[in-house]
Amino acid sequence: MPVHTPDFSAAFAGLERALVRRRIAAVEPVLRLEIAALAAFLAAALFWRMRLRLGSIAFAHGPWAATGEAAAALGACALLGGALAGARHVMTLAPGAAGPPWLALPIPAAQVHRHLARASRLLALLAALPALSVLAAALGIVPWLAFGALAAGFCVLLDLAARLGCRAAFGIARSRAEPLAGCDAWTRVLAAAARPLSSGRLAAARWRREGALPAFLRKDLLVTRRPGPARGRLAQPLVFGALSVLVWFVPIAPGAVTTVAIGLVLLAAAGLASWIVALAASDPFPVVKALPVGVGVVWGARVAWAALGAVALAAGQAVGAGFAPPPAADAPVAGAALAAFAVAVLGANYAITLFPRADHAERILGIALAIALAASLMFYFVGWAVLLVALLHSARRLPRWPLQEEA
C-alpha cells in the first residue's frame, strides 16, 4: 500500500470541524431553542444593567469614564474566558481523562497537544456572550473610536487569556507527570493523561446495622472521598463557601459585603446542587432499582445533604459577620440558609426525577438557576418566585420515581 507523508494540520482541522458539527448536532432542536432563549434572556438582563450603569457614569463623569468602566467589564469577561479554557484543559490533561489513545498513533505529541489546546480554547468563546452585552450597552455612550478599540481589544485579550489558561493547565499537568527518560514534556503529559486512575487499596468495609437512609448517606461520603465526578463537584461549594466567609474580612462597604457574601453563598449552593446531582448519578440504575427502597430514602438522603450544606453556609455567614472588623453589616443568615437549601433541593429534585440521566438533570438545573438569576437581576423577588415554581414543578414528578426507566 502506498504511504505518503501525512498532513497533520489538515487532518486535525478536519477532525475539529467534524467534532464541532457533531456536538452541535447532538444538541436536540428543542434544547437549542432553550439555550438560545436563555442566552438572550441573560444577555438582555446584563445589557440592561450595564446600560444603566454606563449611562449614569457618562452623565456624571463623561464618556471616557464610561469607556474605562466598559473596558474593565470586558477585561473581566476575557478573564472568565481564560479561566474556562484553562479549567477545561486541566480536565483534558487529567489522568484517566476520556479520549483516544493518542500515544498509540504516529502523531508528534506536540501536534496532539496543539489540537487539545484548540479544543479547550473553544470554551472561552462562552465569554463572548456577556462581552457582547457590554459592547451593546456601550454603543452610543462611549466615543466611536473607543468603541472599536474596546471590541478589538476584547478579541485580542480573550485569545490571550485563553492561551494563558491552557498554558497554565499544561504547566500543572507537566508538574504532575512522571519524568520519563528521553521523552519531551508533551509526551510525558499525554502519558500521564492516558494512565488509568490508580486503583490502590481502600479502607476496610464497615458492616453495621443501620437504616437505609444512613446507609445511603455513608455511601455518598465514601463515593465522594474517591476520585470521580462527585469529588470533583465538591470543590465549588467548598471554595465559594470559604470565600463567602472570608469576604466579611475584606475592607469594603458593609452593604457591598452583604451583597457579595450572598452572591458567593448562592454560587456555593449551585455547586452543592451540582454535587448532589453527581451523587445521584453515581447510583447504578439496576442496583438502586432492585433494592427494597422507595423514593423517600433516595431523595431523603440527598435532601439531608442539602440541609446540611445550607446550615453550614448559613453558619459560615454568622461566623464571618460575627468576627468581622467593625462596622460590619448584618449577616444574611436566614436568607443564606433558605436560598442555599432551595437551590440544593432543586438539584436533588432534578437528580431524582430525571434519574439516571444526570446530564439532563444538570442541564435543567442550570437552566432553572440561570432563569432565576436573570429574573433576580431585573427584580429581586422575581428570582425567588422562579426558584419556588421550579421547586414545586420538579417535586410533582417525585412519586413517579419507581416507574422511571433507564434510557
Residues interacting with other proteins, by CB under 8 A?
A: 196-197, 199-212, 214-216, 218-219, 222-223, 225-228, 230, 282-287, 289-294, 402-403, 405-406
Which stretches within 324-379 are classed as H helix? 333-353, 358-378
CB of 95 to other proteins, least distance (A): 13
Q: Which is nearer to other proteins, 35 or 304 (by Cβ)?
A: 304
In the complex, the smallest distance separating the C-beta of residue 216 from other proteins, rounded to whole angstroms, is 7
Q: How many CB atoms lie within 10 A of CB 72?
A: 11
DSSP state of 230: H
Task: Name every residue whose Cβ is closer than 8 Å to that of residue 390 and which is 6 or more positions away in sequence.
Answer: 346, 368, 371, 372
Please give the Cα distance from 266 to 380 (Å, whole number): 14
Q: Which is nearer to other proteins, 196 or 255 (CB)?
A: 196
| Smallest distance, other proteins to C-beta of residue 336, A | 31
C-beta of 118: minimal distance to other proteins in Å? Answer: 30
Find out whether the peptide bond into 356 is cis, omega within 30 degrees of 0.
yes
* Least spacing, CB of residue 394 vs other proteins, in Å: 21
Computed on alpha carbons and rounded to an integer, the radius of gyration of the chain in Å comes to 24
Residues 323/247, Cβ–Cβ less than 8 Å: no
User: Cell numbers of 3, please?
Assistant: 504511504
Nearer to other proteins, 288 or 307 (CB): 288
DSSP-assigned letter for residue 205: P
Which residue, 239 or 293, has its beta carbon nearer to other proteins?
A: 293
To other proteins, the closest distance from the beta carbon of 405 in angstroms equals 6
Nearer to other proteins, 7 or 406 (CB): 406
Are 224 and 230 contacting, i.e. CB atoms less than 8 angstroms apart?
yes
> Which residue lies nearer to other proteins by CB, 1 or 203?
203
- Write the secondary structure of 7-63 as one string of H (helix), E (strand) and C (coil): CHHHHHHHHHHHHHHHHHHHCCHHHHHHHHHHHHHHHHHHHHHHHHHHHHHHHHHCH
Residue type, 257: V
Shortest distance, CB of residue 173 to other proteins, whole angstroms?
A: 22
Output 42 or 298, the one with its CB closest to other proteins: 298
| Residue 310 CA neighbour count, 13 Å, CB half | 22
Q: Is 299 left (phi over 0), alpha (psi -120 to 50) or beta?
A: alpha
Q: Which is nearer to other proteins, 286 or 327 (CB)?
A: 286
Amino acid at 191: A
CB of 172 to other proteins, least distance (A): 23
